[in-house]
Structure 1
Amino acid sequence: MDEVLNNQKISLRFGLNYFMLFAIYGISSPYLQLMVQRLGYSPAAVGLFLGFFELIGITGPIYLAQIADRSGKLKPFLFASTVMILAGLGLLVSFHIPLVTLLSLALLSLGIKTPVPVLDTSLLRTIEFASTKGTKTPNYGLLRAIGSVGFVVVALIAQSIPGFDSSPTGTMAFALGILACLFLVSLFALPEIGTTQARKEKIAFSFKWLDSTYLLGLGVIALGRLAMAPIGSFFSMYLTEELHWHAVGAMWALSASCEIPFIILSWKFIQKKNPMLAIAISSGAIVVRLFIYALFPTPAGAITGQILHSLCYGLFQPAALAFVNLKTPPAARTTGMALYMGVGIGLPTFLGSALGGVVVETFGYRWLFASYTLFALASLALFWKFRARLTAVR
């Protein structure tokens, strides 16, 4: 941990890892739905498959995070995650059988989603350690923004390749595999920021630190993320099928670019006010964004909606992380982050994706976006009812 005292060096190492991790998302987020669709599945089936992808992302990272917390070492889980990505991609392109597709998506989900809470926990431990030593702490917002830059760079490169969003699953999988290998290489630059000492007690799930305020906050978060599900699972298909506009990479790059300044600067607002108020503002922005997609099915509408990602995610992510960090004891920090990623993000996305595919086939993309505003409104209502308790977390 003495390396942590060299703030510039440790920040560069974390910056490299965040850049390469979210570079993977630069392909998986915009194109995974298209990769599955190109295997010959209907929108309803795509929704179910992506829902399963999120469902695995609930339990897997939580369990792995429990092991990471107790083992005292985090890097082995990052290495294992990369191997699972490569294995999942190999199965996805080799066998066009529903059961094998499910298995491949399970591996991809574990591989893609596990590194986020683990890497966040590593950084938070670094910040806490540097703070106790009285040295300058790394800037989480800046380092997380570097991850967004990685997303943007890769999404723009993919957009610049003619016909990439119309290419076969194998082509997209190959690009994703290259990025996974680069992330694997970047991990060698990351120092071990675990406790370095394994805890001898038996590994068992224990959530005694949970209280009603944490669960209420998680409920507000989950409803907002449920409203965001159709964007994550069907926006690329909305662009290509509803708008007949092949700008998938550009639109995802635009949204990620807009989130960067908010991720960097939102910490001041969160510290001055409180995390849950920022999350409520994000839910309000989701309502506006979804209505724009529904009422203005044009390139201009898509661009405007993507710009609102600045509030829907750029403001939301640091606020949600701050809330979880404040409500989770240090010894269970990785588990707390994984619980947030699974129950707060993964479960709502699973439900939203599974239901969304049916809505698309029955009513179309515009009704999909319009109907999901109800979940964002429910998020706002829950926050308003318990605002006194939720805003006290700061």
Structure 2
Amino acid sequence: MSATPQRATLLRLALVYFLYFGQLGIMTPYLGVFLDGRGFDSIAIGQLIAFITLTRIFGPNLWAVVADKTGKLLPILQLGSLLSVLAFGLLFVFDDYWGIALSLGLVMMFWTAVLPQLEVITLNTVHSDSGKYSRIRLWGSIGYIVCTVLLGKALDIFSSESVIYASMLVLAGLTIATLFLHQPPIMQSHEEQGSIWGKLKAPVFIVFILSAILLQVSFGPFYGFFALYMRDLGYSGQQTGWLIALGVLAEVLLFLVAGKIISRHGIKRVLVFCLFIAAIRWYLLASAAQYFAVLILVQLMHAVTFGLAHAASMQFVHGFFGRKYQSRGQAIYVSISFGGGGAIGNYVAGYLWQMEAYYTFAFASLSALVAGVIVLTLRSKEFVFKS
């Protein structure tokens, strides 16, 4: 009797992941194309993307406080999704810099309410069964790939405004899909709440977070200007979509063996390897993007520079902060590296793009290279933690 409802519950969760990451597959690669179509130059594009990236620092922490105090994760998820749709609708009204900045800033602020609550609901639904969770989460990557490829084709046929029409469609679908979810009982934590200041002052954490920031700085030009770069080099929107999808597919496949790689070689070696590969990736993009075979290689490197690097970083956070500070440690890592580092990368890229694409991605390469050198300064045993 319970098997069918359980399967239906898992399918509903998979659909929400599909739509959530499908929206990321639209906005992350193609926001720059949309803004370019609205007549903004590269400086304004870099500033706007940096601005909305900064909300990743404040948004998750704000919603986390509300979730912790109320315990109503599903209503917060649903509200965040609904408000994202309404805020996104402002893009059909505003056409000026500050109007678009307001709209995108509000979208990201509300959008950050969705995934953290969805993750907790999913993990409690599957009772932390990693196998079931992975199968559900996989649909997020599938959604990203499908929406990226389809929108790339749409850009070949229609205008850059396709980005916001597709986004509104997917966001509306997401909001509707969340109405069919159910919140399971949430396991309460009775661990002591204490200060983690001592952890944050540790040299190994300072080095780790600095390298994480620099890695995300290096991703800024890619997220903000890759689609524009491909268009300027004469590649079609569909080719760009398939290239982005290839990177995500490679990332998913590497995730399946990332744990074994990290266990065999250790966190430090893996991080250094990923950072140096990132430096090579961005320099190839700067100097040889006119060759399609090089672009394929560059996108296959996404498996290492994002997938493996993220897996190693998660293992570091898990081991370094331990059970007591696990959630707060992860929030600090995500907020500072993805929010702060991503904002810096996009902001600087906007100015460098005025000079030449080569300097933009060469800057990304240098950022990743410096990050790798910084991690090399520590001993490997400082990245080893007791279970």
Quick check: 1:261 aligned with 2:253?
yes
TM-aligned CA deviation for residue 383 of structure 1: 1.3
Unpaired runs of at least 5, structure 1: 131-135
Partner of 1:339: 332
* Contact 1:117 1:337 (8 Å CA) reproduced: no
TM-aligned CA deviation for residue 376 of structure 1: 0.7
Partner of 2:85: 86
* Contact 2:316 2:383 (8 Å CA) reproduced: no
Partner of 2:276: 284
User: Which residue identity is paired with 1:182?
Assistant: G
Unpaired runs of at least 5, structure 2: none
- For residues 56-105 of structure 1, the C-alpha deviation after alignment (integer angstroms, 9 at most, x for no partner) is 12112122223323433322232122123212321122111222111111
Cα distance between partner residues in 2 of 1:186 and 1:323: 34
Partner of 1:133: none
Cα distance between partner residues in 2 of 1:7 and 1:279: 39
TM-aligned CA deviation for residue 147 of structure 1: 1.3
Cα distance between partner residues in 2 of 1:210 and 1:115: 28
TM-aligned CA deviation for residue 268 of structure 1: 2.7
Distance 1:15 1:163, change over 3 A: same
Partner of 2:380: 388
User: Which residue identity is paired with 2:64?
Assistant: A
Distance 1:339 1:116, change over 3 A: farther
| Aligned pairs for 1:348-387 within 5 A | 348-362=341-355, 364-387=356-379
Partner of 1:25: 24
* Contact 1:145 1:263 (8 Å CA) reproduced: no
- For residues 151-199 of structure 1, the C-alpha deviation after alignment (integer angstroms, 9 at most, x for no partner) is 11111222333625x6143x32121111112222332454425637799
Distance 1:311 1:142, change over 3 A: farther
Cα distance between partner residues in 1 of 2:25 and 2:131: 24
Partner of 1:225: 216
Cα distance between partner residues in 2 of 1:15 and 1:64: 23
Calculate the TM-score normalised by the size of structure 1: 0.85
TM-aligned CA deviation for residue 11 of structure 1: 5.0
User: Which residue identity is paired with 2:36?
Assistant: Q
Cα distance between partner residues in 1 of 2:207 and 2:120: 23
User: Which residue identity is paired with 2:272?
Assistant: A
User: Which residue identity is paired with 1:96?
Assistant: D
| Aligned pairs for 1:73-222 within 5 A | 73-124=72-123, 129-130=127-128, 136-161=129-154, 163-164=156-157, 167-169=159-161, 171-193=162-184, 195=186, 207-208=196-197, 210-211=199-200, 212=202, 213-222=204-213
Distance 1:168 1:294, change over 3 A: closer
TM-aligned CA deviation for residue 126 of structure 1: 5.8
| Aligned pairs for 1:41-52 within 5 A | 41-52=40-51
- For residues 108-138 of structure 1, the C-alpha deviation after alignment (integer angstroms, 9 at most, x for no partner) is 22233443333334445567x54xxxxx544
Cα distance between partner residues in 2 of 1:189 and 1:207: 38
User: Which residue identity is paired with 1:68?
Assistant: A
Cα distance between partner residues in 1 of 2:348 and 2:334: 20
Calculate the TM-score normalised by the size of structure 2: 0.86
Partner of 2:312: 319
Cα distance between partner residues in 2 of 1:107 and 1:48: 16
CA-based RMSD: 3.1
